[in-house]
Amino acid sequence: MSETLSDLLAALVRSDSTNPSLVPGGAGEGGIARFVGGWLAARGIAAELDEAAPGRVSVIARVPGTGGGRSVMLNAHLDTVGTEGMARPFDPVVQGGRMSGRGTYDMKGGLAACLLALVDARDAGLRGDVILTAVADEEHASLGVQSVLQRVRADAAIVAEPTELSVCTAHKGFTWHEITTHGRAAHGSRPDLGVDAIAHMGRVIGQLEALGQTLASRPAHPLLGHGSVHASLITGGQELSSYPERSTLHVERRTLPGETPDGVTQEIEALLSRLRADPTFHAEHRVTLARDPFGIDPGAPIVQAVLGAATTVLGTPPAVIGQTFWMDSAFLAAAGIPTVVFGPAGGGAHATEEWVDLDSVQQCREVYTATLRAICA
C-alpha cells in the first residue's frame, strides 16, 4: 500500500478512471474506487461504495468524532477526461518537484491530499465527524455527487479542485439550450414557395449577440465578471438546391450567482417572442441541461477557517478568487452545506501535458488538516 504522498498520488494516476460518458469504453471509476476503499481500510478507516449507475462508483468514508462537534466533508472526484494525444497518460513521471500524468492536476492531487488529511483526522481525536466523498462523473453529469448527497450530509465542506492554493468562494453556472427554427422546403428556384429556416436562425443569432452585449453591460460580479451567451453548434438544411425546412442551434449561457435557469429561459423566450412578430417565423426552444452557479459569503465560518489555516501553512494570506468553470461545489451548496474550494497548483487540465506541484499537494493536506482541527474540534 502507498505510504508517501508521491507514492499515493502515483498509484491514483496509474488507476485509469477515464469517464465513459466522455470516452466510449472508458474505464470508469470502479477500479479507482476499490483502490481508495482498500487504501482506507488498511488504515482503519471504514469506507463504502456507492454505485450511482452501473460501473459509476463513488466512495463514502467517515472518521467518526467523539461526539458533540461539527462535521466537515472533504470532496474530490475520481474520474478524468480522455487521454487522446498523450503518450503514457497513466505512467506518472516526477521531475523538478512536479508529477505529470492524466489526472495529476484535475484532480487526483486534491484527492491524495484529502485521503492523507483523513488519516490525520483519524489520529486527532476530533469531536466532529470527518467525511470523504470521492465521487464519480464530475466531468460529465455529476451522477456521483448527486447520489452520495442522498446519503450524506455535513455542517461544512471543502472541495479539493485545483485553485493554485487560493480560496475559491464563487464559480459560474451554465444552462444549455436547443432552439429549432422551422421553414418550408422548396426548390431553390422557387422563393415564392420556400421559407428559409437557416435565415430565420440567423435572426436568432443576431438576437443572442445583442443579449451578450446586454450581459456585458450589466454590473460585473466582483470575482466572476459578467455572464455570457454563445452559439455552440448549428445544423440545418437538406441539400444545396433546396430551401431549408429546419435549423437547430445549441446555445450555452454562463450564469452568475443570483441568476437562475428559469430567469435565463425567460430571457431567451423573450427574444424569440420579438421575432415571432413576423408570422413566417416559427421556433421551438427547450433547456437541455442546467447547472447552478456557486457563491458563499467570504465571512462564512468554513471560509474563514480555510483562510486562517492557509495563512499559517503558506506564511501569507491566500487570494480569494472566483472560477469561471463549473464544479460539484454547486450541488453541495444547493444541499445546504456551506462549501469552499481549495486545492493544489499545477496546469494542463484536460490538456496533453498535465502536471501538479507536489509541494502544493502537501500544503493542501496541511491546510485541510488544520481546518478540520479548527471546525471539528
Same domain, 9 and 64: yes
Of residues 40, 47, 39, the one with CA closest to residue 14: 39
Question: What is the rounded CA–CA span in Å between residue 229 and residue 140?
Answer: 20
Q: What is the CATH number of the domain that holds 219?
A: 3.30.70.360
Same-domain status, 113 and 249: no
User: Quick one: average pLDDT of 189-206?
Assistant: 97
Q: Are 159 and 170 in contact (CB under 8 A)?
A: no
For 231-290, the pLDDT digits (tens) are 999 999 999 999 999 999 999 999 999 999 999 999 999 999 999 999 999 999 999 999
- Whether residues 303 and 164 share a domain: the answer is yes
Q: Of 4, 10, 35, 17, nearest to 119 (Cα)?
A: 4
Q: DSSP 3-state helix, strand, coil percentages of the chain (rounded to 5)?
A: 30, 30, 40
Residue 37 sits in the same domain as residue 159: yes
The percent of residues in the chain predicted with pLDDT above 90, rounded, is 99
The CATH number that applies at residue 12 is: 3.40.630.10
Grid coordinates standing for 163?
485553485
**Is the same domain home to 144 and 13?**
yes
Q: How do 320-323 and 339-342 pair as beta strands?
A: unpaired
**Dihedral sign for Cα atoms in the order 321, 326, 327, 330:** positive
**Domains contained in the chain, number:** 2
pLDDT number for residue 3: 74
Gyration radius from the chain CA atoms: 24
Question: Do 139 and 188 belong together in one domain?
Answer: no
User: Does residue 116 carry a pLDDT above 60?
Assistant: yes
Task: Assess whether pLDDT exceeds 70 at residue 199.
Answer: yes
Nearest to 104 by CA among 112, 96, 114: 112
Q: Are 183 and 254 in contact (CB under 8 A)?
A: no
Question: Does 138 lie in the same domain as 34?
Answer: yes
> Same domain, yes or no, for 86 and 139?
yes
* Residue 2: per-residue pLDDT: 56
Q: Tell me: do 23 and 167 sit in the same domain.
A: yes
Domain final residue pick, 291, 322, 354: 291
Question: If you average pLDDT over residues 323-338, what whole number do you get?
Answer: 97
Among 240, 246, 243, 238, residue whose Cα is nearest residue 187: 243
Same domain, 215 and 306: no
Contacts of 208-217 with C-beta under 8 Å, sequence gap 24+, read 208/251, 208/271, 210/271, 211/267, 211/268, 211/271
Among 266, 291, 316, the domain-final residue is 291
* Residue 364: partners with Cβ closer than 8 Å, 6 or more residues away: 109, 110, 113, 160, 165, 342, 343, 344
Mean pLDDT of 32-39: 98
Asked whether residue 111 falls in the same domain as residue 128, the answer is: yes
Residue 143's domain spans which residues?
5-171+294-376
Judge if 272 and 223 occupy the same domain: yes
Q: What is the rounded average pLDDT of the residues 39-45?
A: 97
For residue 112, pLDDT beyond 90: yes
Half-sphere exposure of 242 toward its Cβ, with a 13 Å CA cutoff? 11
Angle made by CA atoms 18, 146, 255, in degrees to the nearest 5: 90
Question: What is the C-alpha separation between 141 and 331, in angstroms, rounded?
Answer: 11
Average pLDDT (9-32) is 98
Taking the C-alpha atoms of residue 221 and residue 232, their distance in angstroms, rounded to an integer, is: 24
Return mean pLDDT, the chain: 97
Among residues 262, 291, 320, which one ends one of the domains?
Answer: 291
